[in-house]
Amino acid sequence: MKEKARSVIEILKTHYPDALCALQYEKDYELMIAVRLSAQCTDARVNLVTPALFAAYPTLEALACADVQDIEGYIHSCGFYRQKAKDIVGACQMLLQQYGGKVPGTMEELLKLPGVGRKTANLLLGDIFGTPGSVVCDTHCIRICGRLGLSSGTDPEKVETQLRAILPPEESSDFCHRIVLFGRDTCTARSPKCSQCPLAHLCNQWNV
């Protein structure tokens, strides 16, 4: 299985040499906020919303002091805006009060922040800190790794554990970013382009 995972990684590297996060941000805490907004929302929509939000609240302190209802107005189109706004303000307050105004660099600390689950924490660890073994199990990752036979089931934490066991730790974060890109343009949820797929010969589930 590890050999198959390495084959997938090398093919994805060829097609997506730049394994970049699709969310746009300049500061570490802005990535934390963008990932929270991306829940049940597209990255493209988040990237349309965050410039105005970060312009109105240009510092961590400004966000921590913001009125939750005002934040709601900026992020309304991202869905679940009331809870997301509450989490954003709460997380920014906690960063200031408990973490010296910095996004913490451990899973344990990150999971204490409002609105931060394992998916968000892994993304932050991989992109901000370059932590080996950071596996971001979003819907693309779960779907595609299941089709390829690299994982089974749909529980994000279980899939994360399965992938961590077979992915080279230094490749994990970039692998997850490439899987997202691959899932958007080729291995889509409804109509995967199997005839054009560079991983077709490794796919367990689909007849191509």
Active site residues: 119, 138
Cα 182 to Cα 3: distance, rounded to the nearest angstrom: 20
Burial class from Cβ neighbours inside 10 Å (0-12, 13-18, 19+) for residue 45 reads middle
Cα 112 to Cα 108: distance, rounded to the nearest angstrom: 7
Decide: 196 and 182 in contact? Cβ < 8 Å. no
| Dihedral sign (CA 146, 14, 10, 196) | positive
Structure tokens at 140: 């693309």
